[in-house]
A and B are shown apart, each in its own frame.
Chain A
Amino acid sequence: MSTTSAPPRPRRLLFGNRPTRSRLLRGLAKHSVMIVTLTLMLYPLLWMFGASLRPDNQVFNTLGLWTGDLTWDNYADGWAGGGQLNFSRFFFNSLTITVLSIVGNLIACALTAYAFARLEFRFKKPLFALVIGTLLLPYHVTLVPQYILFNQLDWVGTVLPLVVPKFMATDAFFIFLMVQFIRALPPSLDDAARLDGCGHWGIFWRVVIPLSVPALGTTALFTFINTWNDFLGPMLYLTEPDAWTVSQGLATFLDATGQSAYGSLFAMSTLSLVPVLAFFIAAQKLLVEGIATSGLK
């Protein structure tokens, strides 16, 4: 108690010598565990970045990170591609699908979540149970019939199968996340808005949405990451090389690559991770807090 207000005195320090030293040692031990673990974990990524800067014949030469003749040639070569590989096109496609998915998820999930969190209606309980039920439903069970459906609709080969379901709030996880968030907003705000003449739409648009920015941000970020990384969906539905996403491009590149073009493969792999990392760095706090609170309910 007294130590917090009074400046530390030398005598005190002498007295508290042993505990502080052991605490210091323990802190040091903890930091070294952290740093060793982190190095082991992140080394592959750093190595890949290093390898992407080495000429092809030196890619696998070394365990080191930045050794050999460093060059950006692999990036130029990989981007230029050849044959079916056209990474500027792939990045554009991935970006289009990702942006549409984010917009769809935000609109549809927010509308749904508002109804479940704020309104009373018939069959509310069983319908919400349905949301929770689909939360744990493995996607495989709809994989085949959805393909048949989209095939009948003649949507195979377009981005529609990947994007349209997002506008229909098929991602129960985000509904759940937003319901939890909106429930925690004080209901008195709704009442105030209602007295000012707002209907449900007004309350949703002017009160709930502006206050839900953290939940919306988390949803946008996770949708971004899931869609950007998705591989199975695009592989099923985007059959023409012109429509491929970055994931598909990389997988094809990997198949076609002998030992010769690993430099370019690593260069394009690194590039494909950059948007995710950039998003993460920009919104690290929001993301980590978001997942922590969604887990805690």
Chain B
Amino acid sequence: MKKNDTGPDGGRTQVLPPPPPTPQGRPPAGPRRRSRRASSENRAAFAFLTPWLIGMLVFTLGPMLFSLYLAFTRYDLSGAPEWVGFANFERMFTTDPRYLDSVSVTLTYVAWSVPLLLAVSLGLAMLLNRGLRFLTGYRALFYLPSLIGGSVAVAALWRQIFGEEGIVNKALALVGIEHTSWIGDPDSALYTIVILQVWTFGSAMVIFLAGLRQVPQELYDAASVDGAGALRRFRSVTLPMLSPLIFFNLLLSVVNAFQAFTSAYVVSNGSGGPSDSTLFYTLYLYEQGFAQLNMGYAAAMAWVLVLGLALFTGCLFLSSRYWVHYGDER
């Protein structure tokens, strides 16, 4: 695929031996012309890239460097940042129990929601895959929650569903179970948000579906001939063939889960409560940075998150060598 793309000047100009009338009126030959063409292409490329380059410098790289500096300061928007060395990081890991709480809340959330989401999306994709009628209709309906799962409206709805008088308790009452508010209970509040995240499995499922369609039927047939049962076929054909997409979905959902904000904010009314049980990393970062104006501390938190995520995705990429199979024929 890539081979066709490379070297536009090398490939394209020399395809036509009789010189076509070029703008310069010269035959396309010799290194000089090629370099002139290359340099004009160079200029054109940077013209096309100008908005992106500006955005990259002003809105991404510049701010990143600035926040790296801020991480070592105390700053509350007034006056100049005051250099404090590693004090912010020390505080995080030694004297700020809420920070450690937020780390454990987020990790618990990721550890539950990501595997559940992948399992549900893969399972339903397998069920949907072969010759089921109304496939497109089902697919669309399953996909729908992932469009609105991040909205305030759905988070507000969640607060009612799992509230004292919510429909979950109403349904439980039908079978004679009494329960208090799931949102108000520190033991269950986080899991209501896990459910919200898993509810949005549709986009991952759509990706799995597209991948399943590319698994050659011959592989299954061959496996069947060799006496493989359904479970064995799943383990030895489906999983390896889908592994690039499992990797892709795993990566996306981990990154998404680490960045969840709206649902936690709305469900807990911005507090991360009850008793910090839904104090997500992002929520605590927001609270420190923008409610208490500890901007240096918030910047330090952001950098720890970046490094943590980089470490995590790095390990994921390293491990992928052992379990992700890229088929040769694709």
Chain A residues within 8 Å of chain B by Cβ, number: 97
From known contacts A108-B51, A114-B48, A254-B159, infer whether A141 and B306 are also in contact, taking CB-CB under 8 Å: yes
Closest CB of chain A to B114's CB: distance in Å?
A: 15
From known contacts A112-B52, A254-B159, infer whether A284 and B140 are also in contact, taking CB-CB under 8 Å: yes
Contact A143 B289 (CB under 8 A): yes
Interface residues of chain A: helix, strand, loop or mixed (majority)? helix
Residues B219-271 near A (CB distance < 8 A): 245, 248-249, 251, 255, 258-259, 261-262, 265-266, 269
Closest chain B residue to A204, Cβ basis? B48
Which of B45, B127, B299, B309 is within 8 Å of A144, CB to CB?
A: B299
Contact A167 B63 (CB under 8 A): no
Residues of B within 8 A of A138 (CB): 255, 258-259, 302, 305-306, 309
Which of B9, B148, B262, B298 is within 8 Å of A276, CB to CB?
A: B148
Chain B residues within 8 Å of chain A by Cβ, number: 102
Residues B29-80 near A (CB distance < 8 A): 38, 41-42, 44-46, 48-49, 51-52, 54-56, 58-60, 62-64, 66-67, 70, 77
Within the assembled complex, what's the spacing in Å between the Cα atoms of A108 and B50?
9
Within the assembled complex, what's the spacing in Å between the Cα atoms of A82 and B302?
38
- CB of A147 within 8 Å of the partner chain: yes
Within the assembled complex, what's the spacing in Å between the Cα atoms of A187 and B11?
11
Contact B8 A63 (CB under 8 A): no
Interface residues of chain B: helix, strand, loop or mixed (majority)? helix
Contact B127 A33 (CB under 8 A): yes
Contact B60 A142 (CB under 8 A): yes
Within the assembled complex, what's the spacing in Å between the Cα atoms of A47 and B158?
12
Contact B156 A269 (CB under 8 A): yes
Closest CB of chain A to B164's CB: distance in Å?
A: 9
- CB of B210 within 8 Å of the partner chain: yes
Contact A146 B159 (CB under 8 A): no
- CB of B285 within 8 Å of the partner chain: yes
Closest chain B residue to A139, Cβ basis? B259
Residues of A within 8 A of B7 (CB): 120
Contact A115 B48 (CB under 8 A): yes
Which of B1, B156, B203, B210 is within 8 Å of A254, CB to CB?
A: B156
- CB of A130 within 8 Å of the partner chain: yes
- CB of A129 within 8 Å of the partner chain: no
Contact A143 B170 (CB under 8 A): no
Bitwise interface map of B from 145 to 171 toward A, beta carbon under 8 Å scored 1, else 0: 101101111101111110001110011
- CB of A277 within 8 Å of the partner chain: yes
Residues of A within 8 A of B148 (CB): 229, 273, 276-277
Within the assembled complex, what's the spacing in Å between the Cα atoms of A168 and B50?
8
Q: Which of A3-11, A95-103, A289-297 contacts B (4 or more CB under 8 A)?
A: A289-297
- CB of A70 within 8 Å of the partner chain: no
Residues of A within 8 A of B210 (CB): 292-293, 295-296
Bitwise interface map of A from 20 to 59 toward B, beta carbon under 8 Å scored 1, else 0: 0000000100110110011001111101100000000000
Contact A280 B302 (CB under 8 A): no
Within the assembled complex, what's the spacing in Å between the Cα atoms of A138 and B64?
11
From known contacts A229-B262, A231-B262, A291-B203, infer whether A255 and B52 are also in contact, taking CB-CB under 8 Å: no
Contacts beyond the supplied A170-B55, A247-B152: 14 A-B pairs with Cβ under 8 Å? A34-B128, A47-B167, A112-B52, A119-B44, A121-B41, A134-B60, A144-B70, A187-B5, A200-B48, A231-B265, A232-B261, A266-B160, A284-B140, A296-B207
Give the 6 A-B CB pairs with smallest separation, nearest first.
Answer: A168-B55, A121-B45, A292-B210, A145-B63, A269-B153, A295-B207
